[in-house]
Amino acid sequence: MNRFQIILGQISLAVCALAIGLCVCVVPQAPTALFAGWYGDVDNSPMTREEIVSFSAVVHDYTFFDQDRTKLYAGIVAVNDHIIEDGRGSDGQPVLTSGDEASVAAAFDAADEAYVLHTDMIDHLDDVSHVVFIMLCVAAAFLVLASIELMNAYFRGHRADMCTMLVGGGVVALVVIALGLVGGFVAFDSLFTLMHQLLFEDGTWTFSPNSALICTLPTDFWVAMGALLLAVSAIVSVIFIAIGKLMKSYKL
């Protein structure tokens, strides 16, 4: 195999390792269940921590999984019903006159953003969903490339090149992960803002700090999501390196 093919295989495997971390982050209920109990801006929200977790789980699953607005509205209404049942009802909560989607959306837009998601917030979630979908499609393309290069090396008898790709791909991914960790520790807010500026239109991703969207998915949540992504990706990278070294040692 030539040098270009080996480097292509290494880069493709590195992208695959990072993509696996992203896939874990978008599994329904997984991140919100994992981080429940310590994230959420309780001080600026009328919701309890348990309600915040329920609210964020619905928002997470809508954004990264099904994009089902009816299900999203139902989940948010359920949280508001719980607030009322707990004796903490407010005039700012949505007043529903009908169960159809248009009526619920209108009621949400008229309600206090501390209790619901307004249409512009849901539109932003749709934008995030589209970006993640594109990222996963790109990752799938790199998975195909990695598979082709590995199979090419295997069936042509170039086992040493296959080991080099696995070890190199793992190392490249670990370097990216290390850079991500340093960037996250040094300037997470700046990186988060820059990412939004690059991926989304101005004015479509800034919301009040007291809004339900920000209180239920605060900076702490995204730091945890980033840590989960990097941790899973690091484990996969180490597995790549270990497999490559074992194959080389045992001449598999």
Domain limits of the chain?
3-250
Instruction: Please write the tens of the pLDDT for every residue from 189-232.
Output: 898 899 999 999 988 999 999 999 998 888 888 888 899 999 99
Average pLDDT on 145-158 reads: 92
CA distance 219 to 223: 6
**Given a cut of 80, is residue 72 above it in pLDDT?**
yes
Q: Spell out where 46-104 has E strands.
A: none
CA distance 12 to 144: 8
Three-state SS for 159-200 is HHHHHHHHHHHHHHHHHHHHHHHHHHHHHHHHHHHHHHHHHC
pLDDT of residue 13: 97
Higher pLDDT, 123 or 29: 123
Average pLDDT on 55-69 reads: 92
pLDDT of residue 30: 74
CA distance 202 to 211: 18
Instruction: Please write the tens of the pLDDT for every residue from 78-132.
Output: 999 999 999 998 899 999 888 889 999 999 999 999 999 999 999 999 999 999 9
pLDDT of residue 100: 87
Average pLDDT on 27-55 reads: 81
Instruction: Work out the pLDDT band at 252, boundaries 50, 70, 90.
Output: low
Residue 32's alpha-carbon distances to 52, 93, 135, in angstroms, are 10, 24, 21
**Residue 84 CB partners (closer than 8 Å, separation 6+):** 93
Instruction: Please write the tens of the pLDDT for every residue from 133-149.
Output: 999 999 999 999 999 99
The per-type count for the chain, helices as H runs and strands as E runs, is 9, 0
